[in-house]
Amino acid sequence: MTLRELCARSGIAESGIGQSPEIKHLTLDSRLVQPGSLFVCMPSNRQDSHAFLPTAAAAGAVATIVHKESSVAEARALGLEAIYLPAASYSGTLWQLARAFYNSPTASYKLIGVTGTNGKTTTAWIMRQMLTALGLRAGYLGTLGFTLPESSIELNNTTPFALELYARLDEARTANLDALCMEVSSHALAEKRADGLEFDAAIFTNLTQDHLDFHGTLEQYADAKFRLFSELPLQSDKSFKAAINVADPVGRAFAKRITQPVLTFSTEANIEAEYHFTATDVQLDSISFDLKSPNGNHRLTAGLGGLFNVENLASAITGLIAAGYPLEDLLETTQNLKPVPGRFENVPIEANFRVIVDYAHTPDALEKLLDSVRPLTAGRVITVVGCGGDRDKTKRPLMGFAASERSDLTIVTSDNPRTEDPETIVAEVLDGIAPNRPAIAIVDRAEAIAHAVGFASENDVVVIAGKGHENYQIIGHEKFPFDDRDFVREALQK
Over the stretch 36-55, which tens digit does the pLDDT of each residue have?
A: 999 999 998 888 999 999 99
Q: What is the pTM of this model?
A: 0.88
Extents of the domains making up the chain: 3-100, 104-333, 345-493
pLDDT at 18: 77
Say if CB 27 and CB 39 are below 8 A apart: yes
Residue 115 in this model has a pLDDT that exceeds 80: yes
Options 1.10.260.40, 3.30.1490.20, 3.90.190.20, 3.30.1330.40; which CATH number does 345-493 get? 3.90.190.20
When pLDDT is averaged across residues 25-34 and rounded to a whole number, the result is 96
Q: Which of 475, 471, 470, 477 is nearest to 143 (CA)?
A: 470
Confidence of residue 216 (pLDDT cuts 50, 70, 90): confident
Strand-pair partners of 306: none
Helix or strand holding residue 57 (H, E): helix 53-58
When pLDDT is averaged across residues 5-28 and rounded to a whole number, the result is 87
Helix or strand holding residue 147 (H, E): strand 145-148
> Tens digit of pLDDT for each residue in 363-415?
988 999 999 999 999 999 999 999 999 998 999 999 999 999 999 999 999 99
Q: Which of 97, 112, 108, 103 is nearest to 172 (CA)?
A: 108
What's the burial of 195, exposed, middle or buried (CB within 10 Å: 0-12/13-18/19+)?
buried
Residue 215 in this model has a pLDDT that exceeds 80: no
Confidence of residue 17 (pLDDT cuts 50, 70, 90): confident
Q: Which of 450, 424, 429, 425 is nearest to 439 (CA)?
A: 429
The 8-class DSSP code of residue 22 comes to: B
Strand-pair partners of 22: 2
HSE, side-chain direction, 13 A CA sphere, residue 183: 26
Three-state DSSP class for residue 342: coil
Residues in the chain: 494
Q: Fold match between 3-100 and 345-493? A: no
Confidence of residue 319 (pLDDT cuts 50, 70, 90): very high
Residue 15 in this model has a pLDDT that exceeds 80: no
> Tens digit of pLDDT for each residue in 88-107?
999 999 999 999 999 999 99
Residue 203 in this model has a pLDDT that exceeds 70: yes
3-100, which class in CATH?
A: alpha beta
When pLDDT is averaged across residues 143-170 and rounded to a whole number, the result is 95
Higher-confidence position of 144 and 14: 144
> Tens digit of pLDDT for each residue in 218-267?
899 999 999 999 999 999 999 999 999 999 999 999 999 999 999 999 99
pLDDT at 214: 67
**β-strands 81-84, 63-66: how paired?**
parallel
> Tens digit of pLDDT for each residue in 278-288?
999 999 889 99
Say if CB 94 and CB 160 are below 8 A apart: no
Confidence of residue 159 (pLDDT cuts 50, 70, 90): very high
Residue type, 68: K
Three-state DSSP class for residue 84: strand
Residue 19 in this model has a pLDDT that exceeds 90: no
Say if CB 408 and CB 488 are below 8 A apart: no
Confidence of residue 11 (pLDDT cuts 50, 70, 90): confident
The 8-class DSSP code of residue 234 comes to: G
Topology given in CATH for the domain delimited by 104-333: UDP-N-acetylmuramoyl-L-alanine:D-glutamate ligase (3.40.1190)
Q: Which of 181, 120, 137 is nearest to 323 (CA)?
A: 181
What's the chain's average pLDDT? 95
Answer positive or negative: Cα dihedral of 418, 423, 424, 425. Answer: positive
